[in-house]
Structure formats: C-alpha cells, structure tokens
A = this chain, B = another copy of it.
C-alpha cells in the first residue's frame, strides 16, 4: 500500500497520541483518557503555530501509521545555520519493519536539506537497540551522549 507523509492536523491528534503510547517506553507516560486529550490538542496548537516546529504523520489509506516531529534550531555555531532536530519518531506496532520509519526519516532529511540545514540530529533511548541500527543505516552516527534531567 502506498504511504503518504503530510503535516499533521488537529484531527490526527488522537491517532498520534495512540502511536506515542504504542511502545514499551511510551505506554508508561502517555495519558490516554478522554479528559487528557485536550492537553494533547493544546500542545498540537502550539507546535502548529511555530514556524520552526513541524509535526508529520504517515498514512496508509486513511490510517495514521507513523509520526515524527522536527524542530529547526537556529544556531550561532559554524557560521550560523539551522539544525534539524528530530524527535517523537513512532511507527504503529503492527506495521514495523516495513520501511515506514525509513520513509519518514528520508522525508525529514529531504526537507532539512531543502531548508538549508547543515545537520540533522536526534537522540534515541539506549534501550532501543533496533532503532540504533536503523539510524546508522540511514547514515547517522552516534557521536554524542544524550543527557536528560527531569525537572
């Protein structure tokens, strides 16, 4: 089936929330209650209104089977340029291993190049070993440690 990647709309938010919860790490931290949906919709509006943030969905037929977000971060370093910072990459658990993630990342890299970014970057939880091979196959190199601190 052919895959379509487009900017997410407010109607996609329930499907994106379900994707974010659809893995081992995500299910512990997402709020899937009816009441919780409005927080996701408010967050979506903030992302959609920001010219340096883009949230995408991948569709097969009418079904949302993947999502990712990119933030274009303007830097002083290296003479000034934006970097494409990719996060929240998810593929529906029943559709993994079929090239959806790869298609989304190639889409992200194409968009970043078209925008003039000199670098794309992302972090991946150390426990997601399959994801690491996936990113290396796409030409990413794990040159850094990713540090997090809960506030």
Which residues in A have some Cβ–Cβ distance to B below 8 Å? 13, 16-17, 20, 26, 29-31, 36, 39-40, 42-44, 46-47, 50, 52-53, 55, 69, 71, 73-81, 84-85, 87-88, 109, 112-113, 117-126, 132, 135-136, 138-151
Find A144's partner among B52, B53, B71, B146 (CB 8 Å cutoff).
B146
Residues of chain B within 8 A (CB-CB) of A77 are: 20, 26, 29-30, 88
CB–CB A146/B142 < 8 A: yes
Find A138's partner among B16, B50, B149 (CB 8 Å cutoff).
B149
Given contacts A43-B81, A118-B151, contact A17 B76 (CB under 8 A): yes
Complex CA–CA separation, A6 to B118 (angstroms): 29
CB–CB B147/A122 < 8 A: yes
Find A43's partner among B17, B79, B119, B121 (CB 8 Å cutoff).
B79
State the Cβ distance, A16 to closest chain B Cβ, in Å.
Answer: 6
Q: Return the chain B residue nearest A143 by Cβ.
A: B148
Residues of chain B within 8 A (CB-CB) of A75 are: 43, 47, 69, 87-88
Q: Return the chain B residue nearest A140 by Cβ.
A: B147
State the Cβ distance, A44 to closest chain B Cβ, in Å.
Answer: 6
State the Cβ distance, A112 to closest chain B Cβ, in Å.
Answer: 6
CB–CB A147/B141 < 8 A: yes
CB–CB A113/B151 < 8 A: yes
**What are 8 A-B interface contacts by the 8 Å CB criterion?**
A43-B79, A50-B52, A113-B151, A117-B151, A119-B151, A122-B146, A122-B147, A123-B146
